Structure 1
Amino acid sequence: MPTDLTIRTYETAPGLGRHQVLDPRSLAYRRPYDGQPLRATAWEPRLPVLDQRNLIAQGVHTADAYGLESDTDALASCTGNAATALLSILLTPEQAHAAALNLADAAMAQHYAIGLYADATACDQWSQYTWPTQDVGSSGLGVAKAMRNRGLIDQYGHATTAEELCALLQTGPVLLGMPWHAAFSDPDPDGFIDADPAWADSPLEGGHEVCVTAIEAVAFDDGTLMPEHSILRFRQSWGSAWGDHGDGRLRLSTYLALRDQADVIQPRIDSWSTR
């Protein structure tokens, strides 16, 4: 296991299970912003909104699938859920079918997400625990490695600035790992998790992973990016009743406020670019 990892762990809870793990060798594959135009861009998941918090009601039974004594009704599997939403965009329907990802059946897609989560915990070699033995959460880096191990992606790159994040979204969705404040769990009717200007004062509930699917607005002032007026949309994994039909929004300035505890990873395939 690398000894120079930066690891920040959070208390796990149903629906919240992301930890921040930064590897300097992986961060070397950061994609610096080179001044290309930044425009509003959207990528739509090809599967229903997933829900990691109400598994039994969806017909997702983990006991039989994982040899457990009883079914688990909720998991800290946000990394697997975010990655599954991303794969539904990245892969063609034919590729998704070949990978056993059912885009039409929410329960089957949720099973797939749980499997990715299990793989991610195994890839998180900094932790001695794995699912299904322990519901310990995982990292964006771990689930990116899990996707690559399965042959679903060939590479992944990072962003560490607002401009780099916006540039990545020009070419595809990204995984965003972030600290999750209590105010974020109660978005406004448009799905904005940062509608309350005092969100930073609300308690930290844990770490969370989402799939950012769009930059809906990109604002500039004399050529300078204006984060407070630039809007990101993400696919949540808490069911379609949450936020805006299962999606959330945040201002780019909120990402910047959280950046020290955030990580942005974009899984890709070789046909997009060469790492």
Structure 2
Amino acid sequence: MSVYLTPIRWQRRSPITDQGGIGSCTGHAMAGVIGTDGLNRTGRSDVGEELALELYALATRLDIWPGEYPEQDTGSSGTAVVEAAKQLGHIRSYWYTRSLQGALRALQFGPCVVGFPWLTGCEDPRADALVPYTGHSKGGHEVELVGWEPAEQRFVFANSRGPDYGDNGFFRMTYRDLGHALRLGGDVILPIFPETP
């Protein structure tokens, strides 16, 4: 358990993206992971909107819901987008969890894609980029988990709402709030890259 007392902040090499009015948060989160350092791996600096939309489009073909992007902007799931990344050769496998301890364990190896119900309070981060996990659901949202601040008991995420959101595109959630989000149906997926041991 002592490993979880160590701060973690994986460096993102690619710029923060902005999904705009497209429901492509899954593709943007996965593209963010590809553009972020992990254990024994340097993130790609050339990752952007094009790859995010390519991943999203394939995810909409792989998921369980009818409709495919770009003809239909249906949204998708974290499991579908990591399958898309695997099919496109970006990752070799992935590890899935729905627990806080699992999230902390996964984060030791690299950034993760995290999906959970996005509440209205998340739209307005505080000055310290902490989102209040309050209000009613606006639907599901996928983000990139990049860090852990044990002293404050907070997780750090990259969003796909442009650099004006939160702290230059990043935000924080408390340990307790992420636990609540996972209990509401959220999940955490660690993509495993070919070069990762």
Match of 1:86 among 33, 40, 65: 33
**TM-score normalised per structure 1:** 0.66
* Structure 2 equivalent of residue 211 of structure 1: 144
Instruction: Give the deviation of 1:102 after TM superposition.
Output: 2.4
Instruction: Give the deviation of 1:37 after TM superposition.
Output: 1.8
* Gapped regions of structure 1 (runs ≥ 5): 1-34, 54-73, 104-108, 220-228
Paired residues, number? 192
Match of 1:175 among 96, 102, 113: 113
CA contact (8 A) 1:47 1:85 kept: yes
1:37 aligns with 2:3: yes
For residues 16 and 166 of structure 2, the distance between their equivalents in structure 1, rounded to whole angstroms, comes to: 11
* Counterpart AA for 1:214: G
CA contact (8 A) 1:36 1:167 kept: no
Q: Deviations over 1:62-94 (max 9, x none)?
A: xxxxxxxxxxxx20000000111100125646x
Superposed, 1:99-118 pairs within 5 Å as 102-103=46-47, 109-118=48-57
* Counterpart AA for 1:249: R
* Counterpart AA for 1:247: F
* Counterpart AA for 1:77: S
Q: Deviations over 1:159-193 (max 9, x none)?
A: 22212211111111011101000011001011111
For residues 140 and 182 of structure 1, the distance between their equivalents in structure 2, rounded to whole angstroms, comes to: 21
Q: Deviations over 1:4-55 (max 9, x none)?
A: xxxxxxxxxxxxxxxxxxxxxxxxxxxxxxx4621211111111110111xx
Larger Rg: 1
Q: Secondary structure at the match of 2:166?
A: coil
CA contact (8 A) 2:35 2:46 kept: no
Superposed, 1:1-275 pairs within 5 Å as 35=1, 37-38=3-4, 39-53=6-20, 74-90=21-37, 92=42, 96=44, 102-103=46-47, 109-124=48-63, 126-194=64-132, 199-200=133-134, 202-216=135-149, 218=150, 229-260=152-183, 261-273=185-197
* Counterpart AA for 1:50: T
Q: Secondary structure at the match of 2:102?
A: helix
* Structure 2 equivalent of residue 30 of structure 1: none
CA contact (8 A) 1:153 1:269 kept: yes
